Amino acid sequence: MAAAVKVVLIFAALLTVFALMTWAERRLLAFMQFRLGPNRAGPLGILQPAADGIKLFFKEEVVPAAANRWVFLAAPVVSVATAVLAIGVLPYGPPFTLFGRQWQLQIADLGVGVLYIFAVTSLGVYGPVLAGWSSNSKYTLLGGLRSSAQMFSYELALGLSWVGVIMLAGSFRIGDIVDHQAGGFWCWNAVVQLPAFIVYFVAATAEVSRIPFDLPEGETELVAGFHTEYSSMKFAMFQMAEYLNMITVAVLGTDLFLGGWHSGLPFLPSSGIWGFGWFAAKVGLVLFAFIWLRGTLPRFRYDQLMGFGWKVLIPVAVLNILATAAAVVLFGL
Amino acid sequence: MIDAILFYVFAALALGSALVVIGQRHAIYSAFALIVTLCSLSAIYGLLGSPFIAVLQLVVYAGAIMVLFLFVIMLLNVGREEREGGERSGLKIAAGILTGVLLLQAGAVLLQAVVAPAPGFDASTHKMAQDLFSPRYLYAFEATSILILASIVGAVALAKKDL
């Protein structure tokens, strides 16, 4: 029963954040480019996501004649399903007491939490790949192939960046990793494991295909990449998957590297409502960084992307693992 | 109760999709069905109380190996497999006999099997790591990793024209 309530609550909260993100992203990007962005629907344009949703609902559903119909219809569902699966094991705040019971805003507290996230993100590649192949168009196929190669390459760096953090905490449980960073901001993994944090942030940006790593969409070359042929709500589902993945990556980054709900300064409280405040602020900061990057950077060339992933990020992550392992053995951290 | 229902659902899914893998003539559908099989197996591992194995099954097979399979199938644009002409009755009889032997073996195992968790069953990550790096399995484990490393180096050497 409690689990069902948590599922509904967390899912509703994430969908709200997703809707607000689509608006916030357009407004912030506009400000960075000396424009105003959508500001007509509601105060400050905050009802823009609702207007977009209504528009997308009433658009015509197009399935290309030469497309593989069932795979074409399944692809957006797979995309959203894999994105939603990952949110189930993340903790969204400190444990708190309500109605005389101990609660934790987390659906399933898995002992292999970090590995589970890794498994689910590795399944996330199937959405774009199925979409790209089933649309039967060269742009979508190229987008799908790029997507699979890119996600596959950066997943390695992403997974390796977590190893040092796991070794320090001695646990795969995300809650344990957060608790290991209690104290001050100098205990955060973003400080202790700085190379891993940088690798994580870069690989995560690539994993969610955001600029400068949005090669699978690359509109200058591929129209819109793997979702060129999608319209109406099916297109919206790809967008939703992308934003949900972004939120997952931001929450995971906060939990693993930015100290979760800990305030970072010993004299500031980090329990109860304070913890939720710190947590939301950190996640918001990471999400803002994604938008900021999009407003700042151009896109990678494909060979640069692959070279950077394999020849820079992975060696850095491996060296970090070796150094951390040596430190753990020598100093018994 | 709910565990039993889930087990039968995933077992049926695994068997059904496995049949599709070998029955399907379109390579890409076989690959899709294999992904479903691997995910169902992972769910069964989870139900049996081994989350670590369940997650590794997804990471290694469904997440990594099958993506490469799909990548190659799409890149080569493999179409429908053509039906080969001519009856090869000898092979068919041999296949039938071998299937019969396999079914007999499986039946014999199932009849003798004791359906209960082994005493002291503990599939936690901690216990698994201790077992894996205990003197009993350490040599085999390290030998396997060196073997895999050698095959990676070999693959790079074969694929690269000038190093």
Cβ neighbours for A73, distance < 8 A, ≥ 6 positions apart: A63, A234
Give domain status of residue A31, yes or no.
no
pLDDT on residue B40: 92
Note whether residue A48 is domain-resident. no
Give A88's DSSP letter.
G
At residue A316, the pLDDT reads: 92
Give chain A's domain count: 1
Question: What ipTM did this prediction achieve?
Answer: 0.78
Q: How do the pLDDT tens digits run along chain A, 333 residues long?
A: 777 888 888 888 888 888 889 898 989 989 998 888 888 888 888 888 888 888 888 888 888 887 778 888 888 998 899 888 888 888 887 877 777 777 777 777 777 888 888 888 888 888 888 888 888 888 888 888 888 888 888 888 998 999 988 888 888 888 888 888 887 778 888 888 889 999 999 999 988 888 788 877 767 777 777 888 888 888 888 888 889 989 999 999 988 888 888 887 777 777 777 888 888 888 999 999 999 988 888 888 888 888 888 889 999 999 999 999 998 888 876
Domain at B1-80, CATH class: mainly alpha
pLDDT, position B82: 67
- Measured CA to CA, the distance from residue B32 to residue B55 in angstroms comes to 19
Q: What residues have CB less than 8 Å from B9, skipping those under 6 apart?
A: none
Task: Determine, yes or no, domain membership for A45.
Answer: no
pTM for the whole structure: 0.84
Shortest CA distance to A251 belongs to which of A13, A9, A5?
A13
For A:207-236, CB contacts with B below 8 A are: none
A101 phi, psi to nearest 5 deg: -130, 155
- Does residue A28 lie within any of the structural domains? no
**CA dist., res. B53 & res. B62, Å (int):** 13
The DSSP 8-state label assigned to residue A300 in this structure reads: P
CB contact under 8 A, A125 and B35: no
In a domain, A94, yes or no: yes
The domain in which residue A306 lies consists of: 65-331
CA pair distance B151, B163, nearest whole angstrom? 17
Q: Count Cβ–Cβ pairs < 8 Å, chain A vs chain B.
A: 64
Please state, rounded to an integer, the average pLDDT across all residues of chain B.
84
Query: How far is Cα B116 from Cα A74, in angstroms, rounded to an integer?
Result: 39
Nearest CA in chain B to A82: B63
Cis peptide before A212 (omega within 30 of 0): yes
DSSP collapsed to 3 states, chain B: CHHHHHHHHHHHHHHHHHHHHHHCCEHHHHHHHHHHHHHHHHHHHHHCCCHHHHHHHHHHHHHHHHHHHHHHHHHHCCCECCCCCCCCHHHHHHHHHHHHHHHHHHHHHHHHCCCCCCCCCCCCHHHHHHHHCCHHHHHHHHHHHHHHHHHHHHHHHHHCCCC
| pLDDT > 80? residue B18 | yes
Q: Chain B contacts of A112, Cβ < 8 Å? A: 51-52, 55, 125
Per-residue pLDDT tens for B85-138?
Answer: 566 778 888 888 999 999 999 898 888 877 666 666 777 777 778 888 888 888
User: Cβ of B56 and A133 within 8 Å?
Assistant: no
Q: Please calculate the CA angle A180-A15-B36 and round it to the nearest 5 degrees.
A: 80
Chain B hits for A149, Cβ within 8 Å? 71
